[in-house]
Amino acid sequence: MDRNTIEALPVGRAFSQRAKALAIIDAILCPEWEYRYYSFNSEWGSGQSMASARDGQGAEYFALISDDVIGFKSYEPQSPAVPPPSAGWAAHTPANKGLEYFWGEPAFSMDRISWLATCDTGSWQLLAGELRIPDLAEALTRDADEHASWAATYYERTPSTEQVEAMRHLFNGEPLTGEIVAALNPSAGIVDLTDDITEIGWPTAV
């Protein structure tokens, strides 16, 4: 399977887990929120969570997660834009239940779209854009080694075996410990991450 196409994106709980892992790793590596790529809010709405990413150069994605139903919107300045969803758009998509507020959510900048998809019953449906997933979404399909290499480049760090293993630990959904934090960023402590841990909804082990 080509990992750059929509079929490679995780579905359901696996999507949430990977999006959370990207957010907690970024929180550890970069204390300054405004410089992070990936974020996750586990209490976005009643029974809903939200994953997002920004590259600081105009590209972004937002994903609304309601149980196992996902609405995913992306914008890349270099890609052709598509018209915003109309008021009746949701009624014509299989993944309608749980996404009633996705289509008109102001925080998602729905007036800027180059890629739009929904996921329900374990499969993705592309609504607008190309089969190839947006560049920012490629992180959702990476393994720990690949993400460690990306993070080393972006955060200008030298990757180590300990960092790769720490990322693998988090990619597997394991609880966060002080040792894992120190492996990724010796300057950070688990206490410093209290607010991020709560917002992301990541388990910890003392």
- What are the domain boundaries of the chain? 6-200
Rounded to whole angstroms, how far apart are CA atoms 95 and 189?
40
State the pLDDT at residue 162: 93
Give the CA distances from residue 108 to residues 69, 75, 150, 161, 199, in Å, rounded to whole numbers and listed in that order.
Answer: 17, 10, 25, 37, 18
State the pLDDT at residue 49: 95
Angle (CA) 29 30 34, round 5°: 155
State the pLDDT at residue 51: 97
Written as six digits, the tokens of 132 are: 């190839």
State the pLDDT at residue 110: 85
Mean pLDDT of 155-174: 92
pTM of the model: 0.92
State the pLDDT at residue 135: 92
pLDDT tens column, 55-94: 989 999 999 998 888 999 999 998 887 776 654 555 555 5
Mean pLDDT of 109-135: 88
pLDDT at 44 over 80: yes
CB 142 within 8 A of CB 111: no
